[in-house]
Amino acid sequence: MNNNPIDWEATMTQTLTASKAASRGSERVVAAVSEMVEQQQKNAVEMRKSRETMGQILADLQAVRTGQDRLSIQAKRNTEQLQSHTKKWAVQPSQVIIVLGGLFCAALIVSW
């Protein structure tokens, strides 16, 4: 066995010094974790706002798309109607010749 006397005062002083250092280290870790949690909360709020904004933008884009689709359908209908009217009133070359011939005959009759 070891018959050397233990210096309890020195041992307690070393233990107190080590525990204070560990306490400071723990306080630093807790402070860092606390800052990280606060930052994450801020990021979560910003993320929620961003998601809401993106949702609104998506809704607006969908509304624009719906409007474009309606306008496209209406433009197609208008084009079809215009083409049908154009076909109804299209002047054929033979019709032009008949009208010019009639005008020529009328001019001959009037000039006699």
The first and second tokens of residue 3, run together, are 């018959």
Distances (CA, A) of 13 to 5, 18, 21, 26, 27: 16, 9, 12, 20, 21
Residue 1 lies in a domain: no
- Band (pLDDT 50/70/90 cuts) for residue 94 is confident
Q: How far apart are CA 77 and CA 88, in angstroms?
A: 17
Residue 3 lies in a domain: no
Q: How many domains does the chain have?
A: 1
Place of tokens 């409007």: 67
Residue 16 lies in a domain: yes
Q: Give me the pLDDT at residue 90, please.
A: 66
> Residue 74: pLDDT above 60?
yes
Domain encompassing residue 101: 8-111
Residue 73 lies in a domain: yes
Q: Give me the pLDDT at residue 89, please.
A: 67
Q: Is 4 left (phi over 0), alpha (psi -120 to 50) or beta?
A: beta
Residue 83 lies in a domain: yes
